[in-house]
Copies of this chain bind each other. A is one copy, B any other.
Amino acid sequence: MSLRQKRKEELKEEIFRQSLRLFKEKGYDNVTVDEITRECGIAKGTFYNYFPKKEHVLLHLGLSQMDVFSASLEECRPDTDIKEKIEKIFSSLFVAFEKEWELMSLAVSEILRTNLISGQELETINHFTRSLAAMLAEAKEQGQLSAALNPQTAASTLISIYFHTLMVAISSNESTRLSAIFREHFDVIWNGLKP
């Protein structure tokens, strides 16, 4: 990687770090882009070379959650029972989430709002969904899941309750009940509605 490339990544990381620090200290809305760039010792315009909008800093944070997912997926023993596996994976996502509750809440709101997520970031999300679907497909092969299941849709459904859990927790400010809320909904999905 050229010097230029390296500098670029470093600067982006620096802007990201300083932004988060300020957001934590003063709250997202009370931090101006001017302030961020002043803190980084760069001009205002430079910020916009790295993040197209102020809110994209939050987007960046939110998507880093996906790395937690990948890590958690890797470390799960492949022979684990699928139900347990799903619970573990989402649980570790929630633990990571709770650590940065305030900012992550904002980030999720932004992610949900921005229906125009660009290339790099969209790819991250798709990767998340695909991995989950693949995991489910494998479990289905092994007869651990209903034979009638479409793994793609099932993955999508899990993600829907994942986000829903975040929404419920955020709007009621119950930062500590994420796992519990998820589990309740997961049980519904696991057992199904039908008699």
Copies of this chain present in the complex amount to: 2
A:138-195 near B, CB below 8 Å: 143-150, 153-154, 156-157, 159-161, 163-164, 167-168, 170-171, 184-185, 187-195
- Pick from A34-42, A71-79, A90-98, A110-118 the stretch touching chain B: A110-118
A154 close to B193 (CB less than 8 A)? yes
Question: For the complex, what is the distance from the CA of A53 to the CA of B153, rounded to whole Å?
Answer: 37
- Given B117, B160, B171, B191, which contacts A171 in the complex, CB threshold below 8 Å? B117
Q: How large is the interface on A (under 10, 10 to 19, 20 to 34, 35 or more residues)?
A: 35 or more
A143 close to B109 (CB less than 8 A)? no
Kindly list chain B residues whose C-beta atoms are within 8 Å of the C-beta of A168. 156
B145 close to A193 (CB less than 8 A)? yes
B117 close to A109 (CB less than 8 A)? no
B167 close to A164 (CB less than 8 A)? no
A150 close to B184 (CB less than 8 A)? yes
A190 close to B188 (CB less than 8 A)? no
Say yes or no: is A105 at the interface (Cβ < 8 Å to chain B).
Answer: yes
Please give me the residue from chain B that is nearest to A117 by CB atom.
B171
A27 to chain B, nearest CB (A): 13
Question: For the complex, what is the distance from the CA of A75 to the CA of B64, rounded to whole Å?
Answer: 46
Given contacts A156-B168, A160-B161, contact A191 B112 (CB under 8 A): no
A103 to chain B, nearest CB (A): 14
A188 to chain B, nearest CB (A): 5
Question: For the complex, what is the distance from the CA of A164 to the CA of B189, rounded to whole Å?
Answer: 15
Question: For the complex, what is the distance from the CA of A169 to the CA of B194, rounded to whole Å?
Answer: 26
Given contacts A145-B194, A156-B164, A190-B194, contact A110 B113 (CB under 8 A): yes
Q: A residues engaging B (CB < 8 A)?
A: 83, 105, 109-110, 112-113, 115, 117, 143-150, 153-154, 156-157, 159-161, 163-164, 167-168, 170-171, 184-185, 187-195
